[in-house]
Amino acid sequence: MSDLPDGIQRREFDGQTRLATRGDPVYGEPTDGGWRCWDAGRSKLGAMLEGGMGIDLSSGEGVLYLGAASGTTVSHVADFAGPTYAVEFAPRPMADLLDVAEARNNLFPLLKDARKPDTYSHVVESDLDLLVQDVATRGQARVAVDNARFLGDNGQLLLAIKARSEDVTADPETVFDSVCAELTEAYKITDRQRLDPSHDDHLGVVARKR
């Protein structure tokens, strides 16, 4: 079972026990007092936690989140973490992400390309605890390897690999093996698990910086 920090609990919503973080709700999710439901069907990281992967969030003092989109998952991360840098390439979801960040003083949206970490290295601090990546692009391993510079010693990578973004024609397991092999340039993989049925053709990967 994942080691959940104080800012995450398992609470009952609509008769089901689900993950929740304490913070301002976004996009109409169910709430219970000051807790907001973390829907695994809308969040790859949520699905990794629900699947019981070997994730350690107890030291999430500083986080770099790649592929923040409109802010659904990264808002949950910012609820329990320290400084959270949210990189998103597309202007439209960035507008929504900026709205989400208004209620979170520790969430810093960056309109940048995760494939080009030099463009935000002057903003993002080094020695971070967590790198969370959900980027739908070819070369997902290279993105993770190039951004490892921001992790401190023994920093953790939480990666959602989207097989169809790498090769829409290849067998997903073949894609997953290839991406994981490339990750070993900078990381030691400690856990991997398919995210079906919440997210088809996705693999969750937990790894430590070498």
81 among annotated binding-site residues: no
For 57-209, CATH number out of 3.30.360.10, 3.40.50.150, 3.30.70.890, 3.40.30.10 equals 3.40.50.150
182 among annotated binding-site residues: no
* C-alpha to C-alpha distances, 68 to 9, 10, 133, 178, 188, nearest whole angstrom: 22, 23, 8, 24, 24
- The pLDDT tens digits for 77-90 are 999 999 999 999 99
Separation CA 94–CA 71 (nearest Å): 8
pLDDT over threshold 90, residue 7: no
80 among annotated binding-site residues: no
Please report the pLDDT score of residue 74 as a whole number: 98
Please report the pLDDT score of residue 1 as a whole number: 44
84 among annotated binding-site residues: no
Is the sign of the CA dihedral 175, 181, 182, 184 positive or negative? positive
73 among annotated binding-site residues: yes
89 among annotated binding-site residues: yes
CB contact at 8 A, 139 and 146: no
134 among annotated binding-site residues: yes
Separation CA 146–CA 5 (nearest Å): 28
135 among annotated binding-site residues: yes
- The pLDDT tens digits for 87-100 are 999 999 999 999 99
Is the sign of the CA dihedral 30, 32, 35, 41 positive or negative? negative
